[in-house]
Amino acid sequence: MPPYLAGREGEYEEFDRLLGQEEILENVVLTGLRGVGKTVLVETFKPRALAAGWVWASADLSESASISEAALAERLLADLALVTSALTVANPDRETGVGFAAPAGPDQVPLSHTVLVQVYRETPGLIADKIKATLEFAWRQMKAQGQHRVIFAYDEAQNLSDHAAKDQFPLSVLLDVFQSIQKKGIPFMLVLAGLPTLFPKLVDARTFAERMFRVLTLSRLGKDESEEAIVKPIEHAGCPVRLTPESVEIIVQESAGYPYFIQFICREVYDIFIRQHADDEEKSVPVEAIQHKLDADFFAGRWARITDRQRELLWVVAQLKRPDEEFTIQELTEEARELLVKAFSPSNANQMLSGLTERGMIYKNRFGKYSFAVPLLGRFITRTYWPPGAKPELQDARTESNSVQ
């Protein structure tokens, strides 16, 4: 967790508003690229929710939770059990004594995972019916004991998908269940955090999801907010190290306002300054060395998982006039004709972009435009990669430029 969170006052204000709902009309989708601070922000939502009288159940939605509807049910019940186990409920196994036989077991037992699963299994109907009944049962017990408002918070929610080929629809079941229980006045609210592909997937699964969620889109920090994120932690901690305005400016430029990169670079800068101080060296920000470490720690693993042809396509994207913004297949193919000996046809580019989307390198918005899913990926590609399929005249110009340097 960063010691100071800059530039998220608007998101806090909106979340606090949603916490005040008596009847749940809006749930939360928190979305943005990797590195913008989604996970950190969700973690800081938790104490605000607890202070407002909510109970908090959370987990990461791994791909295993999306395998089947039954796996989703187990995820929900396991998370709910963590917050209900401190409560008690009438023992479902206790039998009425007959004759001189004594009733079996205690009158009250914890509202544990075992009890929730028993209710789930004994409910007839589809899996969605079983989940609804179990959540309603838990809510009645919680309400009777003074705790009845629950937030189910899930990070990496873009992993949740329907699988029509296998007749499994866990994403649709999740939406159906929460819409149904919320209509009954049960204050169970969803907070889903994930990549920009998340909200389109929700709407594709159930069109009513567009009205069901309030979307909070995290973007990178502005210049002033970035400077706060760099300087405030040092001030609050009473740290003896101080950064010059020049050093702060370098960090702002190199991080491009992404909180993850600000934290990564600042940690490296701090460690390097300590070593420079111990060796009585002049203090400076070694940009190139930090870039190499960032490349190895953040980008290299993702880059290694794609093919040479996919790398060429991403290199073309990095050469667009605004590579960090949205682009169309037409813009991509036109640029490829200018740069590559073997360009991409629109159908070929579309197919390759789909593959890169599955690998988390690209995402497609609801309007058919694409963007890098990894922040600063264009910079990484530009400084570390040159495609073997580039036109010879480009290679000659690059060689001449390097020799001049």
Mean pLDDT by runs of 10 across the 405 residues of the chain is 84 96 95 90 95 93 86 95 87 52 65 93 95 95 88 94 92 96 96 91 93 94 93 81 87 92 88 76 77 90 94 95 89 94 93 91 83 91 91 70 50
Please give the pLDDT value at position 105: 61
What is the three-class DSSP state of 245?
A: helix
Please give the pLDDT value at position 101: 43
Please give the pLDDT value at position 162: 92
Query: What whole-number distance in Å separates Cα of residue 302 and Cα of residue 299?
Result: 6
Where are the chain's structural domains?
Answer: 9-94+107-217, 223-285, 306-404
Please give the pLDDT value at position 99: 41
Cα 314 to chain center, whole Å? 23
Whether domain 306-404 has CATH 3.50.50.60: no
The overall longest dimension of the chain from CA atoms, in Å, is 102
Place domain 9-94+107-217 in its CATH homologous superfamily.
P-loop containing nucleotide triphosphate hydrolases (3.40.50.300)
What is the three-class DSSP state of 190?
A: strand
> Which stretch of DSSP H or E encloses residue 342?
none
φ, ψ of residue 180 in degrees (nearest 5): -65, -50
Inter-residue contact 154 to 59 (CB < 8 Å): yes
Buried b (16+ CB within 10 A) or exposed e, 320-347: eeebbeebebebbbebbeebbeebbeee
Helix residue spans in 110-258 (DSSP H): 113-122, 127-144, 170-183, 198-205, 209-212, 223-237, 245-255
Q: Is the dihedral of CA 352, 354, 360, 363 positive or negative?
A: positive
Query: What whole-number distance in Å separates Cα of residue 389 and Cα of residue 394?
Result: 10
Helix %, strand %, coil % of the chain (to 5): 55, 10, 35
Please give the pLDDT value at position 348: 94
Query: What whole-number distance in Å separates Cα of residue 36 and Cα of residue 28?
Result: 17
Buried b (16+ CB within 10 A) or exposed e, 88-103: bbeeeeeeeeeeeeee
Query: What whole-number distance in Å separates Cα of residue 24 and Cα of residue 26?
Result: 6
Please give the pLDDT value at position 243: 84
Query: What whole-number distance in Å separates Cα of residue 104 and Cα of residue 326?
Result: 65
Query: What whole-number distance in Å separates Cα of residue 79 and Cα of residue 67?
Result: 17
pTM comes to 0.84
β-sheet with 213-217: strand ranges across: 55-60, 150-155, 188-194, 27-31, 213-217
Query: What is the amino acid identity at position 110?
Result: P
Q: Which of 207, 90, 73, 194 is nearest to 141 (CA)?
A: 90
Q: Which of 260, 358, 291, 356 is nearest to 317 (CA)?
A: 356
Query: What whole-number distance in Å separates Cα of residue 149 and Cα of residue 143?
Result: 8
